[in-house]
Structure 1
Amino acid sequence: MSQVMSLAQAVERFVPDGAAVAMGCCLEPAIPFAAGHELIRQQRRDLKLIGPISDSLFDQLIGAGCVAEVVAAWVGNVSEGLGHCYRRAVESGDPWTLTVRDHSNFSISLALWAAAWNSPYIPTPTLLGSDILSGQAALELVDGSVRVGAVRPDVCVLHVQRADAGGRAHTWGPLGVAQEAALAAQRVILTCEQLVEPEVILSDPSRVLVPETKVVAVVHEPGGCLPSPLPGYWKRDHAAFREYAALSRTAEGFGRWLREWVLDVPDRAAYLAKLELDPLRITRRLLSEPADYGYE
Structure 2
Amino acid sequence: MMSKFIPLEQAVRENLNDGDTVAFEGFTHLIPHAAGHEAIRQGKKDLTLIRMTPDILYDQFIGMGLAKRVVFSYAGNPGVGLLRRMRDAIENQYPRAIETVEHSHAAMANAYEAGAAGLPCAIFRGYKGADLPKVNPNIKSVVCPFTGEELAAVPAIRPDVTFIHAQKANEKGDVLIEGIVGVQKEAALAARRVVVTVEEIVPDFKGLHPNLTILPHWTVTAICQVRGGAHPSYTHGYYERDNATYLEWDKVSADRELFAKWMDDNVLNATPAVFAERTKGL
TM-score bracket relative to the smaller structure:
over 0.9
Alpha-carbon distance in structure 2 between the residues aligned to 1:236 and 1:125: 34
Aligned-residue CA RMSD (Å): 1.7
**Counterpart amino acid of 1:192?**
V
Question: Identity rate of aligned residues, in percent?
Answer: 35
Q: Alignment partner for residue 228 of structure 2, among 223, 227, 241?
A: 223
**CA apart distance, 1:137:** 3.4
- Structure 2 residue 62 is the aligned partner of structure 1 residue 57: no
Question: What does residue 206 of structure 1 align with?
Answer: 211
- Structure 2 residue 273 is the aligned partner of structure 1 residue 272: no
**CA apart distance, 1:201:** 6.2
Gaps of 5+ in 2: 144-149
SS of 2:52's partner is strand
SS of 1:74's partner is coil
Question: What does residue 92 of structure 1 align with?
Answer: 92
**Counterpart amino acid of 1:13?**
E
Question: What does residue 152 of structure 1 align with?
Answer: 158
Question: What does residue 142 of structure 2 align with?
Answer: 142
Alpha carbons of structure 1 residues 201 and 136: separation in structure 2 relative to 1, 3 Å = farther
* Count of residue correspondences: 275
SS of 2:205's partner is helix
**CA apart distance, 1:80:** 1.4
Structure 2 length normalisation: TM-score? Answer: 0.92
Q: Alignment partner for residue 174 of structure 2, among 158, 168, 178?
A: 168
Question: What does residue 285 of structure 1 align with?
Answer: none
Mean Cα deviation higher: 99-108 or 129-138: 129-138
Question: What does residue 8 of structure 1 align with?
Answer: 9
Alpha carbons of structure 1 residues 274 and 113: separation in structure 2 relative to 1, 3 Å = closer
Gaps of 5+ in 1: 282-296
Question: What does residue 255 of structure 2 align with?
Answer: 250
Alpha-carbon distance in structure 2 between the residues aligned to 1:186 and 1:138: 22
Alpha-carbon distance in structure 2 between the residues aligned to 1:29 and 1:194: 16
Question: Following superposition of structure 1 onto structure 2, how do residues 74-113 of structure 1 map, counting pairs within 5 Å?
Answer: 74-113=74-113
**CA apart distance, 1:6:** 0.7
Alpha-carbon distance in structure 2 between the residues aligned to 1:203 and 1:237: 27
Cα shift readout 1:74-126 (whole Å, capped 9, x = no counterpart): 12210211000000111111111111111111110111111111111222231
Structure 1 length normalisation: TM-score? Answer: 0.88
Alpha-carbon distance in structure 1 between the residues aligned to 2:248 and 2:75: 17
Alpha-carbon distance in structure 2 between the residues aligned to 1:230 and 1:174: 10
SS of 2:65's partner is coil
Alpha carbons of structure 1 residues 120 and 59: separation in structure 2 relative to 1, 3 Å = same
Contact 2:26 2:165 in 1 (8 A): no
Contact 2:174 2:216 in 1 (8 A): yes
